[in-house]
A = this chain, B = another copy of it.
Amino acid sequence: MSSVVRKFCSYHTLKKRLPILRWLPQYSLQWLRMDLLAGLTVGLTVVPQGLAYAEIAGLPVQYGLYSSFMGCFVYCLLGTSKDITLGPTAIMSLLVASYANHDPVYAVLLAFLCGCIQLAMGILQLGFLVDFISYPVIKGFTSSAALTIGFGQVKNILGLRDIPRQFFREVYFTFYHIAETRLGDLVLGLSSLLLLVLLKMMKNHLPKQLHRLSLLDRVCHAIVHFVGTARNAVVVITASLIAFCFESQNQHVFTLTGKSTQGLPPFRLPTFSDTASNRTVSFSEMLQNFGAGLAVVPLVGFLESIAIAKAFASQNNYRIDPNQELLAIGSANILGSLVSSYPVTGSFGRTAVNSQTGVCSPAGGIVTGVIVLLSLAFLTPLFYYIPKGALAAVVICAVSGVFDLRIVATLWRVKKLDLLPFLASFLGCFWEIQYGILAGVALSGIILLFNIARPEMKISDYSTVVVQFQSGLNFPAVEYVSDLLYRRVLEASPPRCVILDGLHVSSIDYTTVNGLRELIQTFQQHNVSLLFSNFRPKILSILTSAEIEGLRYFDSTETALGYLHGDDHTHELDDREKPLLNQTERLYS
């Protein structure tokens, strides 16, 4: 008992659960310098993105910033990846829009519940569950979400109002109302988009070698690099300034963000009931309204975060601990809900910025968090003037990289069957996200089970039939195998002897054992030999423990063949047998 207590209270466990203890003792001034720079750069990205993503989630803009700081602080204590930054993301915002009815009370409660579920999953070590979501399913879902999110911003670029949010209706009504496009919004939106693309290209085309440049060139390089990295902030500020100029002359040509609550969010527990249209909605009713969201949001949040963390861990040569990541992201969501955050996860774009700017530890997140807090404290009055078109451009640029249909060509080339789960989740997610993911996961599961139910067999069909199972022999396959042997052997004339070769059989269960027993009986009734050979010791011990009457086993297929022909031809092999033997030998050489 006390050893268990010691185990759980040891410094090693503490370091495992509070990864900050691992890197803090090594912290240096050099690290501080890099973390400050990276944190600042990420901060300049997260503020405009947060405002834009709140619009995707269907919430007032300030909720994007409410969601952007707590995750940074918590992850600094609990996270195992130096690069990742937690905060609002496009895909999580889309999920929040689906499940939280565009109501901040629901969104904040969802963050709290999502955090609790993720924390529980972490404690129960359930991180492995995401192993069952295959790559094609993830690609299908993210591509579908990127398209939904990207198209959802077209209405803001066009300045259209009152467009519904369900994807198909959104597409229909956007085109239906396209004549109502507002010129000011269109010009500003497209210009913002153009500027973002240009700045990104400029940054990507900067020369990598700095040491051969003059001082002036280096200063220019630094400026272009900074402007390119902070392009979201640059575009939003520029667009807001333009909007401010027009507004101050009473020219209302742009659709603006408008009034928002000012200052820092209150620190309080999420509310567990909602008052909508003069009726109090109880907690259990809210839970029912979330429905599948309570499974989808925590799982997708974890999946997104872990996928990003793994990608950067692999790139920068360190390992992350999936279950510790669950604890970190769960705690971030729970604590975030106390400051009116909606569910957060790792952001691919900002993590890339963080990594490229050379962050050295999760402490960079503290700087980012402070910048968000400062923006909330002092800049909220200015949010009024941010044009929606500029935010839409930020979103479209952020998700354009996620939408990637090249995977279709790759899957076609590598494994056509994997296109099915991809298409199921891609198409399904346009309809409803949970159904899309579920359909994809179910289809990939069915493909797995189909492999089990219809196992590949190598059948060498001469005067003796040698059947080599190419994989496991599990219960869904029993009927198929018996049937095949019946048709190929017992119904053929003359019926031939059969050797079942179990070289590749890695697992077996009671239903299979029972099926083999019946098979042996049937063969005995027909007076045809059925021999077993080459099974692994583990499988063989299961077969013998079942005490099957008439089970004849040989260590190798050759011995079994010799036995059969010893009966018929006093150890002389049939001429027709030789090619088989050669083939069988080849299998083992």
A474 at the interface (CB under 8 A from B): yes
Set of chain B residues within 8 Å of A567, measured between Cβ atoms = none
The contact size tier of chain A is: 35 or more
A410 at the interface (CB under 8 A from B): yes
A128 at the interface (CB under 8 A from B): yes
> Which of these binds chain B: A145-153, A177-185, A214-222, A478-486?
A478-486
> Which of these binds chain B: A195-203, A238-246, A383-391, A450-458?
A450-458
> Which of these binds chain B: A75-83, A157-165, A501-509?
A501-509
- What CA separation (Å) do A418 and B486 show in the bound complex? 27
Q: Which residue of chain B is the closest to A416 with respect to CB atoms?
A: B510
A522 at the interface (CB under 8 A from B): yes
Given A479-B128, A542-B415, is A445 in contact with B456 using a C-beta cutoff of 8 Å? no
Interface residues of A in 461-486 (CB under 8 A from B): 470-472, 474-480, 486
A276 at the interface (CB under 8 A from B): no
B456 touches A511 (CB 8 A): no
Q: Which residue of chain B is the closest to A419 with respect to CB atoms?
A: B510
Given A131-B479, A456-B506, A480-B131, is A415 in contact with B513 using a C-beta cutoff of 8 Å? yes
A317 at the interface (CB under 8 A from B): yes
B511 touches A410 (CB 8 A): no
**B418, B452, B510, B542: which contacts A510 (Cβ < 8 A)?**
B418
Given A413-B545, A542-B415, is A510 in contact with B136 using a C-beta cutoff of 8 Å? yes
Q: Which residue of chain B is the closest to A518 with respect to CB atoms?
A: B314
- What CA separation (Å) do A280 and B448 show in the bound complex? 47
Count of identical protomers in the assembly:
2
A589 at the interface (CB under 8 A from B): yes
Set of chain B residues within 8 Å of A317, measured between Cβ atoms = 525-526
Give A479 Cβ to nearest chain B Cβ, in Å.
Answer: 5
A11 at the interface (CB under 8 A from B): no
**B134, B526, B542: which contacts A475 (Cβ < 8 A)?**
B134
**B445, B456, B506, B513: which contacts A449 (Cβ < 8 A)?**
B445
B470 touches A506 (CB 8 A): yes
**B503, B504, B509: which contacts A418 (Cβ < 8 A)?**
B509
A252 at the interface (CB under 8 A from B): no
- What CA separation (Å) do A526 and B315 show in the bound complex? 11
B134 touches A414 (CB 8 A): no
B418 touches A521 (CB 8 A): no
- What CA separation (Å) do A509 and B137 show in the bound complex? 12
- What CA separation (Å) do A477 and B134 show in the bound complex? 10
- What CA separation (Å) do A131 and B449 show in the bound complex? 11
A410 touches B510 (CB 8 A): yes
- What CA separation (Å) do A509 and B446 show in the bound complex? 13
Given A414-B513, A472-B471, is A132 in contact with B453 using a C-beta cutoff of 8 Å? yes
Set of chain B residues within 8 Å of A413, measured between Cβ atoms = 545-546
A319 at the interface (CB under 8 A from B): yes
A331 at the interface (CB under 8 A from B): no
Would you give 12 A-B contacts (Cβ < 8 Å), ordered by A? A131-B475, A131-B480, A132-B449, A314-B521, A314-B522, A410-B510, A414-B513, A414-B546, A444-B509, A447-B509, A471-B506, A504-B506
Leading 7 A-B pairs by shortest Cβ distance = A471-B506, A135-B511, A134-B475, A418-B510, A134-B511, A470-B506, A414-B546
- The interface of chain A, by Cβ under 8 A from chain B, is 128, 131-132, 134-136, 314, 317, 319, 410-411, 413-415, 417-418, 444-445, 447-449, 451-453, 455-456, 470-472, 474-480, 486, 491, 503-504, 506-511, 513-514, 518, 521-522, 525-526, 542, 545-546, 588-589
